[in-house]
Structure 1
């Protein structure tokens, strides 16, 4: 048994049409594991993440987190989106403390916890700044700190670095790994970047074209810190690229 057990299918109904987005997904994520989801555009990666977050119900099957069936959103599941989704009228510390305030925690106590995670992501000097005063990378650090402040069991990340320039993206990947090790948190991470998945993950779940299924799960048996262009990384990268190319060709031939 893992910390997260996913056995689901998902069908979207609209008018009289139905679209199967996910088919017979079977994925286990262990406690403290870093797992990446990768696959063709439209294969259901984000949908799967939303099911785990409790933002969408599965059509069939169950998702079990820490022994309990997921029935909806709750603080045990931290979510980080690509678009940052910060409150523009709140400064950094009040953005990070927001979830704690919603749980009824006193402002002084919630801001004390928020400060811990703001320090962790290297933004202590900017805790009173507002989102419009920050770079894209800094805003995403705030979003990560906000998710961590709620002490979640699992961190769900939907292409969190996809909108950033290459240098900032690489820096945040390294910082995320530092946070992951320090907090010993479980991470389920959606990405379109094969390089990113190989650099970050313990395991990579490669998905098929719609309806999304798990095509193959690849163990990334490379010690950390990883060299992005090492022979081992290139071997795994090429394997994933071959799997994705198979999906591209199968879709084209349909």
Structure 2
């Protein structure tokens, strides 16, 4: 079982004040874990350390009990900007992580087409990024991150630039894929509602540390009814209080 464990991690950029201080976090296989916090609190640094893109100054990251010393093999990444290659079609963009090293197989091409279908952009397979809307580009970026069927998915505010309706639609599609493939996700957002809707767990960060952890015990699958339920609002309020420093772990 793929499990990510972070123990007593600290990190600083050069001689600057510590960005992360004594971080402890465990994410189990199949969990969707959100990090919420104000700008500059260390969320992205923690995601980069959790994925192996950064090595902590102190502490250790473990994958299945083994110390992580380099980026997690075949992990999927999605960032705020889709960063698609404008001279390649949608299908070519999705296959690009594979084509970087070798020619894609027929099976991999079929998987790419399947992901296009799951993300509801099959009709755009042979279009170029500049022909797509922002929401469609985000769907391509997610499909590209999933092409290798990664055990871990790391996402840094991938929907921040989208309108509210498109954002909710993509949230539902992302959850369906993660649940179907039992994928483990670490997701950064400033949006409390987004964090509560997507997550099995939410961690609130502030000043380089995790101030509050909350299990999100909402019904599965998540639906529009769940999004506007009283319990959803209660959980959102708890996260908001934690951001204001009124809760403890």
Fold shared per TM-score above 0.5: yes
Q: 1:130 aligns with which of 106, 128, 131?
A: 128
CA contact (8 A) 1:75 1:151 kept: no
Q: Deviations over 1:135-160 (max 9, x none)?
A: 11110111110111112111001011
Task: Report the counterpart of residue 84 of structure 2 in structure 1.
Answer: 86
Q: 1:176 aligns with which of 174, 185, 191?
A: 174
Q: Deviations over 1:52-109 (max 9, x none)?
A: 2222221111212234332233543110001001111111111111111234344545
SS of structure 2 residue aligned to 1:150: coil
- Structure 1 runs of 4+ off > 6 angstroms? none
Task: Report the counterpart of residue 162 of structure 1 in structure 2.
Answer: 160
Task: Report the counterpart of residue 210 of structure 2 in structure 1.
Answer: 214
SS of structure 1 residue aligned to 2:171: helix
Correspondence list, 1:43-82, <5 A: 43-82=41-80
CA contact (8 A) 1:2 1:29 kept: no
CA contact (8 A) 1:94 1:111 kept: no
Distance (Å, rounded) in 1 between the aligned partners of 2:81 and 2:204: 24
Task: Report the counterpart of residue 223 of structure 1 in structure 2.
Answer: 219
Distance (Å, rounded) in 2 between the aligned partners of 1:81 and 1:200: 17
Task: Report the counterpart of residue 146 of structure 1 in structure 2.
Answer: 144
Which ranges of structure 1 fall in alignment gaps of 5 or more residues?
Answer: 248-254
Q: Deviations over 1:184-209 (max 9, x none)?
A: 1111110000011111100101112x
CA contact (8 A) 1:30 1:186 kept: yes
Q: 2:190 aligns with which of 189, 192, 195?
A: 192
TM-score (norm 2): 0.91
Distance (Å, rounded) in 2 between the aligned partners of 1:30 and 1:130: 37
Task: Report the counterpart of residue 245 of structure 1 in structure 2.
Answer: 244
* Count of equivalent residues: 242
RMSD over aligned Cα atoms: 1.7
Q: Using the TM superposition, name which of 102-111 and 141-150 deviates more.
A: 102-111
Task: Report the counterpart of residue 13 of structure 2 in structure 1.
Answer: 12
CA contact (8 A) 2:22 2:209 kept: yes
CA contact (8 A) 2:2 2:151 kept: no
CA contact (8 A) 1:38 1:194 kept: yes
